[in-house]
Amino acid sequence: MNVDLHCHSTASDGALRPGEVVRCAAAQGVELLALTDHDQLSGLDEAREAAHEVGIAFADGVEISVSWRGVTVHVVGLGVDPRHPGLNAGLERVRSGRIERAREMARQLEHAGISGGFEGAMALTDNPAMVSRTHFARYLAQCGRVAGTKEAFRHYLVPGKPGYVPHRWAQLEDALRWVIDAGGQAVLAHPGRYGLSAAAMDSLLGEFSAGGGCAIEVVTGSHSPDQYALFGALAMEHGLAASRGSDFHGPQEGAELGSLPELDRRLSPVWAGWSA
């Protein structure tokens, strides 16, 4: 089955409306999709309806921004109840502060000779409260400072480069609790992206499991084929299930929906126990 359990819409930093993401996924052959916007559940109703119309299976999801030992990590919640009060209250807190952060990012870019960053990034949002580094990356590409968003994240917006403003996101144990209390399964997103040592990754996976996390993304648009093998082995070692997700943000902005290889057969898929 073609499963894609990680993607974004205009409810956060994706380029397509929730319904368009679903139609695009169906056209690409995806049979089970989860929409997982950053810290935001507002795209789920439209996406679920579209999934019903086009006849693909759909899971309500979210990708929560977490600060763990000073590193930003992402926790994907799958099968959450979007009306759960605890989850909604938690996410509302995580969402706050993005606009102030964007002003500071724009000030740094101004010092690097790039003007209009705040207005430019805001103009590219559908949901201004969710302004993110992705919108700045698109602005930098739009005004010709970089060839594309990938290049924007090489020269700007990352630690040590202009436009990077650290932020205090949720605590790991809180994010896990919100997902679990809302009836969902917690998945550690793209673990290969955090630049952690083997020892730090071991601690993260230990804390993640102890807090009720049940799976890690093994096949994701952020991993190389070597990392599929590495994180597949770590999932088995830690007794965690495995997930597969493109982390699609828009056409030609990285992996396309449903386009990645299947999980290794030795892994237990996070969706194994789901009913249609």
Given the rule CB under 6 A, which residues bind ligand AMP? 13, 38, 65, 132-134, 150, 153, 249
Q: How many CB atoms lie within 10 A of CB 262?
A: 12
Q: How far is the CB of 189 from Mn ion (least distance, A)?
A: 5
**x/- map, 139-178, Mn ion, by CB under 5 A:** ----------------------------------------
User: Quick one: angle between helices 133-142 and 98-111, nearest 10?
Assistant: 40
- Give dist(CA 96, CA 111) in Å, integer: 25
Give the binding range for Mn ion (CB under 5 A) out of 49-57, 83-91, 150-158, 247-255. Answer: 247-255
Q: How far is the CB of 222 from Mn ion (least distance, A)?
A: 7
**C-beta closer to Mn ion: residue 189 or 196:** 189
- Give dist(CA 19, CA 27) in Å, integer: 12
* Cα 21 → chain centroid: 14
The dihedral over CA atoms of 186, 190, 193, 198, expressed in degrees to the nearest 10, equals 70
Q: Within 13 Å of residue 138, how many CA atoms lie on the same side as its CB?
A: 19
Q: How far is the CB of 174 from ligand AMP (least distance, A)?
A: 17
**C-beta closer to ligand AMP: residue 62 or 267:** 62
- Give dist(CA 14, CA 50) in Å, integer: 17
Asked if 13 interacts with Mn ion (CB under 5 A), we say: yes
**C-beta closer to Mn ion: residue 174 or 247:** 247
Q: How far is the CB of 276 from Mn ion (least distance, A)?
A: 25
**C-beta closer to ligand AMP: residue 83 or 150:** 150
- Give dist(CA 112, CA 21) in Å, integer: 35
Q: How far is the CB of 196 from ligand AMP (least distance, A)?
A: 15
Q: Are 77 and 62 in contact (CB under 8 A)?
A: yes
CA distances from 67 to 83, 94, 143, 184, 265 (A): 25, 11, 31, 20, 32
Nearest residue to ligand AMP on Cβ basis: 132
Q: How far is the CB of 268 from ligand AMP (least distance, A)?
A: 27
Q: Which does 133 bind (CB under 5 to 8 A by kind): ligand AMP, Mn ion, none?
A: ligand AMP
Q: Give residues 65-94 in contact with Mn ion (rule: CB under 5 A).
A: 74
Q: Which residues of 121-145 are buried (b: 16+ CB within 10 A; e: fewer)?
A: bbebbebeebbbbbbbbbbbbeeeb
Give the binding range for Mn ion (CB under 5 A) out of 60-68, 91-99, 208-216, 230-238. Answer: 60-68
Interface residues with Mn ion (CB under 5 A)? Answer: 13, 63, 74, 189, 247
